[in-house]
């Protein structure tokens, strides 16, 4: 079972401060999400497979390396959309496939409302994007869809997590890597991360009430 180690970086700590602050406006919130996602992606893709290739510089030929894996980015709607652009800036040829879930406020379990994965050959590796790993319900539902599709390597990228959500993903999908910026104290009775940052989707897309 892969260990979960929060990202330890001064830039991450500063961006998290911005996200947690209740007075941060949506534009600055989205910018902080972009910074944190870029740091996570750099770490998550460190060991992607490459193959040797000969190229020609302006001076001579030289051996270099190119990525060989077919990568899928799977944002969980709606909040995961805020993490897509910084991922594509680093891996512009990655495929993007969306999964949508909303949380039943009584059971706290996810309810699927959008799923469109292509028939046929699955991607080599899929990166599930969701800023918050709270109960773990949506993450596990997304990972189950990817497992059904036939994806062999899955990675979850999130900004904040509660121990309960981490435990659930590890129990149900022990081979999935989990990369996070911070692990908070707990979930409250409504299933929100404490101290957390509120609803990441609402804050990113200016829909907070």
For the four alpha carbons of 180, 131, 98 and 91, in that order, the dihedral sign comes to: negative
Q: Does the active-site annotation cover 202?
A: yes
Q: Does the active-site annotation cover 103?
A: yes
Measured CA to CA, the distance from residue 141 to residue 104 in angstroms comes to: 14
Which residue, chain included where needed, has tokens 């292509």?
Answer: 118
List 20, 124, 177, 202, catalytic entry: 202
Q: Does the active-site annotation cover 175?
A: no
Measured CA to CA, the distance from residue 66 to residue 54 in angstroms comes to: 10
User: Chain centroid to CA 19: how far?
Assistant: 16
List 103, 124, 145, 154, catalytic entry: 103
Measured CA to CA, the distance from residue 200 to residue 96 in angstroms comes to: 20
For the four alpha carbons of 144, 149, 152 and 158, in that order, the dihedral sign comes to: negative
List 14, 107, 148, 175, catalytic entry: 107
Q: Does the active-site annotation cover 199?
A: yes
Residues designated catalytic: 103, 107, 199, 202
């Amino acid at each position: 079972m892969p260990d979960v180690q929060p990202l330890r970086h001064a830039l991450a700590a500063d961006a998290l401060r911005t996200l947690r602050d209740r007075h941060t406006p949506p534009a600055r919130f989205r910018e902080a999400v972009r910074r944190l996602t870029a740091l996570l992606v750099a770490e998550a893709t460190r060991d992607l497979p490459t193959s040797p290739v000969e190229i020609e510089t302006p001076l001579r030929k030289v051996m270099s390396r190119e990525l060989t894996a077919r990568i899928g980015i799977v944002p969980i709607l709606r909040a995961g959309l805020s993490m897509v652009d910084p991922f594509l800036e680093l891996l512009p040829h990655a495929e993007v496939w969306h999964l949508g879930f909303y949380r039943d406020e009584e059971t706290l379990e996810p309810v699927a409302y959008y799923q469109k994965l292509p028939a046929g050959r699955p991607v080599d590796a899929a990166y599930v994007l969701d800023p918050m790993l709270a109960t773990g319900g949506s993450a596990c539902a997304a990972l189950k869809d990817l497992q059904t599709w036939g994806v062999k390597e899955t990675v979850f990228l999130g900004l904040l997590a509660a121990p309960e959500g981490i435990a659930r993903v590890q129990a149900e999908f022990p081979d999935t890597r989990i990369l996070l910026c911070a692990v908070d104290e707990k979930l409250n009775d409504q299933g929100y991360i404490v101290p957390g940052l509120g609803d990441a989707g609402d804050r990113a897309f200016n829909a907070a009430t």
